[in-house]
Structure 1
Amino acid sequence: MSYLQPLTRLRGAAATTLHQLRPVQAPFLRLSLLKRPYSSSTSSNGQTRDQKQRQSRFKPSDRLSGRTCMITGATSGIGYAIADRFLQEGVEKIILVGRSKQRLADAAARLGEFPEGVETGNGSDEILATRAPEEDQQEYTGIGLSEDRRVSFFVGDVSESGSWVRELEEKMKDVDILVNAAGISTTNILARTDPDAISHTLRTNLEGTILTSRALLRAAIRSRSKNRNSNTEIPSRCIINISSLLAHKGGTGAVSYAASKAGVLGLTRSLAVEAATSLRGVFIRSNAIVPGYIDTPMIANFSDAEKTSLKDEIPLGRFGDPQEVADAAVFLAQNEYANNCILNLDGGLSAI
């Protein structure tokens, strides 16, 4: 998903929001903020643009070899970049989670794992299906598998994950790394924000993150026999939450979003303690990344003047790259002593 944190220029009473996001409309939420479809060009040798960039930038690694990862909000932006990088770091299986089957299939195709038709299933009945029209996806919950079973996807709205928690827990049974990257926002001052929009933002960004984390805990407890030895012999499971700089800094136009992302940091810290004190033989680390302005497709909607003004505010003078966020995710996933680790990635903006 295209994951741009709604940061604002902070100049006292004169603070103004520098971008507009589409309002949340009940009853369905879009986990992707992308306004234009992603275009993936293919070269003469059949490689997608993503594959060529990935190969030229990173050397193959095995730092995460054998691990299974689930990523929410993984169809574009930060979530997609993390999936892309984890594959390069040797992750054995990746499960992409989102509410649009078509966007999930497209993301898997860009990762080089799916043909034009994707194998999908609901329950035990698997069928061969092509990408469904957008309007046919709202009520679908199920799985899709690539031919080599390295990449799969699970279709579901995290804001409503309480209604499919059993299916989620079942999918979590072999998950070692959970990345909570799904998030939505509206841009409006609180006095003018619709109560339904507030509720939807909190349910997606905070409650959804809590429920997916809970599902991983419950799945880990059920399979605790795999973790009977010390956590130096068997790697711990890891939760990586994507927060926002607005969790630390005030701004105008995103109060409920800021509250939800501050709650994600509270969840991260509390879970790091609770998992250690209440789960016998289960080792779960809880960490968070706090991005600033990241160069996702949403940046394309900014005017040149807005981009220049924003970059002038950032000490490094530029936006972050989604792959730089993915770098942080790799560190948190593979470093067994990283627990309650909160990483700011904002180019120094939080120092202002």
Structure 2
Amino acid sequence: MEKGPYKAKVLVTGASRGIGFAIAKMFVQNNYMVYANYNKNYEELNLLANDVKNQGHTIVPIQADVSKKSDVEAMMSEIGGVDILINNAGVSQFKQFIDMTEEDWDEMLSTNLKSVYLCTHCVINYMLSNKSGKIINISSIWGVTGGACEVHYSAAKAGIIGFTKALAKEMAPSGIQINCIAPGAIDTDMNKELTKEDKKLLMAETPMGKMGDPEDIAKAVLFLAEDKFSTGVVMNINGGLYI
């Protein structure tokens, strides 16, 4: 996958903060050409882009609402093909099922699951023509175990796991590897709704006694991007929570 001075061209969705930001930073530091997708917030990405430019690396912030087909198609038209797609974009919401609206459900499934379909569908022909490519999808521990008061989020993240396993079988003969990571409790803005007591409870339930860092997930993504034999894998990076 050598592409001139870079190892490969990578697209990271939802890269403006948290896990996505850590992934984009990890890949650019390891000599990948990185397109860092964001929807609304781009200040930190711009700072990172300027910082790595001084070090001879390239990260390109690119705007798109990846839950919308027209946005995804426009983004991919600007980028061209990519060698590695990291489907990370997502939102969360803590709400009891009886209080959940249809709009809540639709937003969660569109942002967290439909986006995976749209972005993958846009890059797959390029990968098929090259007979190579890596797609890494970010799910969640709640997609594996289910999370109370997060039924819609759990359903979307479980859908990502099913999507990964099925498409991995379909694309393996064409040299395309498709894998998934299911993070446990990670210290990101997405968990800002958790109270201090909730966080303490999560850490107490986690055998390692702490929350993970976004960099822990980024390292796992880098491993899967450079591995040559894994496909259909769901990698649980969760500190031992609910194993």
TM-score, with normalisation over the residues of structure 1? 0.63
- Report whether the alignment pairs 1:312 with 2:204: yes
* Closer, same or farther: CA 243–261 of 1 in aligned 2, 3 Å: same
Give the superposition deviation at 1:75: 0.4
* Corresponding position of 1:158: 66
* Closer, same or farther: CA 206–302 of 1 in aligned 2, 3 Å: closer
Higher relative helix content: 2
- Report whether the alignment pairs 1:67 with 2:8: yes
Give the superposition deviation at 1:303: 4.1
* Closer, same or farther: CA 250–320 of 1 in aligned 2, 3 Å: same
SS of the aligned residue for 2:145 comes to coil
What is the identity, as a one-letter code, of the residue corresponding to 1:325?
A: I
- Report whether the alignment pairs 1:110 with 2:48: yes
Contact kept? 2:172, 2:231, Cα under 8 Å: no
Contact kept? 1:113, 1:151, Cα under 8 Å: no
Give the superposition deviation at 1:247: 1.0
SS of the aligned residue for 2:242 comes to helix
SS of the aligned residue for 1:159 comes to coil
Percentage of pairs with the same residue: 32
* Corresponding position of 1:175: 82
- Report whether the alignment pairs 1:267 with 2:205: no
Unaligned runs of 5+ in 1: 1-63, 116-145, 228-235
Structure number with bigger Rg: 1
* Corresponding position of 1:95: 35
What is the identity, as a one-letter code, of the residue corresponding to 2:182?
A: V
What is the identity, as a one-letter code, of the residue corresponding to 1:153?
A: P
Q: Distance in 1 between matches of 2:126 and 2:73?
A: 10
What is the identity, as a one-letter code, of the residue corresponding to 1:85?
A: M
Q: Distance in 2 between matches of 1:323 and 1:149?
A: 19
Contact kept? 2:65, 2:72, Cα under 8 Å: no
Pick the aligned partner of 2:147 from 238, 245, 251. Answer: 251
Q: Distance in 2 between matches of 1:192 and 1:272?
A: 36
Pick the aligned partner of 1:323 from 201, 204, 215. Answer: 215
Q: Distance in 2 between matches of 1:313 and 1:268?
A: 28
Give the superposition deviation at 1:350: 2.1
- Report whether the alignment pairs 1:84 with 2:61: no
Structure 2 matches for 1:1-352, cutoff 5 A? 65-91=6-32, 93-100=33-40, 103-113=41-51, 150-160=58-68, 162-171=69-78, 173-221=80-128, 224=129, 226-227=130-131, 236-277=132-173, 282-298=174-190, 302-351=194-243
Give the superposition deviation at 1:164: 3.2
Q: Distance in 1 between matches of 2:75 and 2:232?
A: 24
Give the superposition deviation at 1:96: 1.0
Contact kept? 1:105, 1:114, Cα under 8 Å: no
What is the identity, as a one-letter code, of the residue corresponding to 2:114?
A: E
Q: Distance in 1 between matches of 2:177 and 2:157?
A: 19
SS of the aligned residue for 1:153 comes to strand
Give the superposition deviation at 1:250: 2.7
Q: Distance in 1 between matches of 2:95 and 2:193?
A: 18
Q: Distance in 1 between matches of 2:111 and 2:76?
A: 18
Q: Distance in 2 between matches of 1:276 and 1:250?
A: 29
Contact kept? 2:65, 2:71, Cα under 8 Å: no
- State the Cα deviation string for residues 105-161 of structure 1 (Å, max 9, x = none): 43131354489xxxxxxxxxxxxxxxxxxxxxxxxxxxxxx9x7821122111111x
Q: Which shows bigger deviation, 241-250 or 170-179?
A: 170-179
Contact kept? 2:63, 2:75, Cα under 8 Å: no
Give the superposition deviation at 1:79: 0.4
SS of the aligned residue for 2:167 comes to helix
* Closer, same or farther: CA 79–311 of 1 in aligned 2, 3 Å: same
Give the superposition deviation at 1:90: 1.5
* Closer, same or farther: CA 190–69 of 1 in aligned 2, 3 Å: same
TM-score, with normalisation over the residues of structure 2? 0.89
Q: Distance in 1 between matches of 2:191 and 2:114?
A: 27
